[in-house]
Amino acid sequence: MTKILIIYTGGTVGMIYDDKTKALRPIGFNEIRNNLPELYRMGIDFYVYAFNPPIDSSDMQPEIWSELAGIIEDRYDRYDGFVILHGSDTMAFTASALSFMLENLSKPVILTGSQLPIGKIRTDAKENIITAMEIASMKHSNGTVMVPEVCIYFDFMLFRGNRAKKYNAEKFEAFYSMNYPALAEAGFDIKHKHNYVLPSPTAPLKVHKELDANISVLKIFPGITRKVVESILNVEGLRGVILETFGSGNATTQPWFIECLENAIKRGIIIVDITQCDGGSVELGKYETSQYLQNIGIVSGHDMTFEAATTKLMFLLGQHLSHDEIKRLIEVPLRGELTIEEQV
């Protein structure tokens, strides 16, 4: 029988309405289990690791990602797959971080949750948990797992974790993946799209627990001032910056702006250019406005999501690599998080 470990971190999926406080409060996994008797009819041998107290996803931190990676590492040989119950607000960050931290992953790690608490009559929690469990347990006829990677399952769709983004706070369809196809879709049957799934590695699992969160985000907008830019680029201990630009990587060409970025780069700060658009890719040099960035040493984030870019930068900065090696690896797809455009 397939053995699955459910890791319950918290989130809306584990909330109930408290009549006294008139607000939602977190509950333990036992109460979730009581609302989900279907778990016992699935034919899956499942076990639970529950965070106590449960964590609101808004409080998610790199230290918890390291703890999650360690939980999976310590139990990796005992289970066929892992399902992480997680709040949706930062789920894409956690999925992206774990994808980089779990090198040579050959078992499914599926994150899921819900938009409505499991105690609500119209909750989406039951379907999300049940199908995530089913996907985590599915194998090919030769015994290999269907999805040997970190994924997000939500509202009938399975996405690569480092390609997904939460885009809606009210719909059950909370996530999408603009730059990469879904890995599976659940209807009457679960239809896998095997050609989009990462190949199963042959090397043993290697877990990286060190992350460096000394990064900042510079999102440009018309009218941004030098004082704002300098305040972000001159944070003490800063090692990396995610630069959110317009369109395919464009930014203002005002001399003071380019000078600020160039000065930061000369101090050893790595600046990664990603687009503010949810879909599409950075193409440095395509327009004159991005040639300036390319010329001073800005690194292209290609089509990475904000969540993937930030966690990848934290991951690489934590690996004690050389400055040049980090810049090189930013532009290399490590876990399927980006697409390299063909040069024409």
For tokens 């969540």, name the residue.
307
Please say if 12 is a catalytic residue.
yes
Report the distance separating Cα 180 and Cα 288, nearest Å. 28
In sequence order, what E strands does the chain have? 3-8, 15-18, 23-26, 45-50, 81-85, 102-103, 109-112, 150-154, 157-160, 165-166, 175-176, 184-186, 190-192, 206-207, 215-219, 240-245, 270-275, 299-300
- Dmax (CA) for the chain in angstroms is 65
Contact (CB, 8 A) for 155 and 128 = yes
The single-letter code of the amino acid at 14 is G
* Nearest alpha carbon to residue 227 among 249, 254, 257: 257
CA–centroid distance for 237 within its chain: 25
CB count, 10 Å around CB of 84? 28
For residue 339 the two structure tokens come to 């697409």
Contact (CB, 8 A) for 44 and 139 = no
In sequence order, what E strands does 144-276 have? 150-154, 157-160, 165-166, 175-176, 184-186, 190-192, 206-207, 215-219, 240-245, 270-275
* Nearest alpha carbon to residue 92 among 240, 282, 278: 278
The single-letter code of the amino acid at 238 is L
Please identify which of the residues 12, 94, 252, 311 carries the catalytic annotation: 12
Q: Is the dihedral of CA 106, 112, 56, 99 positive or negative?
A: positive
CB count, 10 Å around CB of 225? 10
Catalytic residues: 12
